[in-house]
Amino acid sequence: MKKISRKHFLSKSAAALAGGSLLATACGTDSDARASGGAAPNIQTNKTYRWKMVTTWPPNFPVLGEGCQKFAQWVEEMSGGRLKIQVFGGGTLVPPLEVFDAVQSGTAEMGNGAAYYWAGKIPAAPFFSTVPFGMNAQQMTAWLTSGGGMDLWEELYAPYNLIPMMSGNTGVQMGGWFNKEINSIDDLRGLKMRIPGLGGQVLTKAGGTAVQVAGGEIYTNLERGVIDATEWISPFHDYKLGFHQIAKYYYYPGWHEAGTALETLVNKAKMEQLPPDLQAILRTAAARQYVYTLSELETQNAIYLEKMQQEGVDIRPFPPEVLSRLKELTAEVLDELCSRDARAKRIYDAYRAYQQRAQKWAAISEKMFYEQFA
């Protein structure tokens, strides 16, 4: 093999980058082609489009709901007012957990939520939100963006006339609020807990009962004893909802949600009616919302964790033996899911392969940093 000098390599790389930029400008990128259906030229018109977005979040909900409002604002600004989106919080136009159906049917052109809410319709959907003991936000983002995950996600939603987009990530969540101590796995038996997705299935295997409750209803259900425990997100949102006032113990880590991706759903037929530039604007705004959500939560969670500590909230780790048993039960849940759903198996095989590679790198990079240098 011919030896290439560093200087030669850098000069070739610079030339390739410049050429790639020119080519992208002249011809459009793959993502541009996908956004436009790979067909029409980018011809602008003065037509104004008015869309509705329904969300699973309560109206004006901090960060998550606010992020949807910002999304609509960014789209309007980037489109010069040609695409206007009205955002409806959960329950104002459709119930929070009916967002999927509303967008699929065209009642609303788009929605915002998390894929694990649709597990009853699509068993494989939770892989595109979070997996217990799964990938963190950084790894999940990389898998979806650069590891083939997004292609699988689009393929999964295509039969439902839907296009998914990443539009946020919560990062690592907390384990939840309990009114009794969790000292062993047996303490989860008989427990009615608000916990969605695959984490809920693991709790059920542990002898508990998973309850699906929209965010705006959690406090009342916990206060009235409809549920015995709940997880929601992390210190910022949990404090704002007042869970520390009605629950004794706040456990970590969020074994069930290591890095939960949030989604924007778009009705495929409605998307294809938009000019290519407006389709690209929607995707760009969703990517911006993703960065906003993750960054804002990382900032606010640090502030509110400190606030809880100062106010004496009892924050404690799950015992190692509890986490170990939950991890074993997670493996059983995933095996059972994959054995009965071919699509789930195909997606999880891809997810797991990426996770294993990512963990090898993390073991000598971030893990070492946290253990030795933090």
**Domain map of the chain by residue range?**
47-167+260-298, 176-258+313-372
Q: Are strands 229-230 and 192-194 parallel, antiparallel or unpaired?
A: parallel
pLDDT of residue 213: 80
Rounded Cα distance between 200 and 192, Å, is: 10
pLDDT digits (tens, 9 = 90+) for 127-142: 999 999 999 999 999 9
What's the mean per-residue pLDDT of the chain? 90
Q: Give me the DSSP letters along 274-331.
A: S-HHHHHHHHHHHHHHHHHHHHHHHHHHHHHHHHHHHTT-EEEEPPHHHHHHHHHHHH
Q: Are 268 and 103 in contact (CB under 8 A)?
A: no
All residues at 6 or more sequence positions from 144 whose CB lies less than 8 Å from its CB, including other chains: 128, 150, 153, 166, 261
Q: Are 252 and 318 in contact (CB under 8 A)?
A: yes
**27 has a pLDDT exceeding 80:** no
C-alpha dihedral, 69 to 293 to 259 to 124, nearest 10° = 20
| Phi, psi (rounded to 5 degrees) for 51 | -115, 160
Q: Are 134 and 141 in contact (CB under 8 A)?
A: no
Rounded Cα distance between 316 and 143, Å, is: 31
Rounded Cα distance between 337 and 360, Å, is: 26
Rounded Cα distance between 329 and 53, Å, is: 37
pLDDT band at residue 45 under the 50/70/90 scheme: low
The pTM of the full predicted model, rounded to 2 decimals, is: 0.85
**34 has a pLDDT exceeding 70:** no
Does 47-167+260-298 match 176-258+313-372 in CATH topology? yes
Q: Are 117 and 196 in contact (CB under 8 A)?
A: yes
pLDDT band at residue 369 under the 50/70/90 scheme: confident
**44 has a pLDDT exceeding 60:** no
Q: What is the CATH number of domain 176-258+313-372?
A: 3.40.190.10
**178 has a pLDDT exceeding 60:** yes
pLDDT digits (tens, 9 = 90+) for 336-356: 999 999 999 999 999 999 999
**253 prior amide bond cis, ω within 30:** yes
* Least confidently predicted of 5-19, 86-100, 219-233: 5-19
Q: Are 28 and 186 in contact (CB under 8 A)?
A: no
Q: Are 169 and 294 in contact (CB under 8 A)?
A: yes
User: How much is the average pLDDT of 260-272?
Assistant: 98
Q: Are strands 261-267 and 162-169 parallel, antiparallel or unpaired?
A: antiparallel
Q: How many CB atoms lie within 10 A of CB 268?
A: 17
User: How much is the average pLDDT of 53-60?
Assistant: 94
pLDDT band at residue 119 under the 50/70/90 scheme: very high
**28 has a pLDDT exceeding 80:** no
Q: Are 227 and 221 in contact (CB under 8 A)?
A: yes
| Phi, psi (rounded to 5 degrees) for 271 | -60, -45
All residues at 6 or more sequence positions from 263 whose CB lies less than 8 Å from its CB, including other chains: 112, 113, 114, 115, 128, 129, 164, 165, 166, 167
* 2 or 301: which leads in pLDDT: 301
**43 has a pLDDT exceeding 80:** no
Kindly state the tokens that stand for 253. 């880590």
Instruction: Name the superfamily (CATH) of residues 47-167+260-298.
Output: Bacterial extracellular solute-binding protein, family 7 (3.40.190.170)
Cα separation of the two ends of the chain: 43
| DSSP H/E element including 162 | strand 162-169
pLDDT digits (tens, 9 = 90+) for 78-87: 999 999 999 9
| Phi, psi (rounded to 5 degrees) for 298 | -60, -40
pLDDT of residue 367: 86
| Phi, psi (rounded to 5 degrees) for 203 | -60, -40
User: How much is the average pLDDT of 43-61?
Assistant: 89
pLDDT band at residue 24 under the 50/70/90 scheme: very low
pLDDT digits (tens, 9 = 90+) for 272-326: 999 999 999 999 999 999 999 999 999 999 999 999 999 999 999 999 999 999 9
**63 has a pLDDT exceeding 60:** yes
Rounded Cα distance between 369 and 84, Å, is: 45
Kindly state the tokens that stand for 134. 């799964």
Q: Which residues pair with 80 in a beta bridge?
A: none
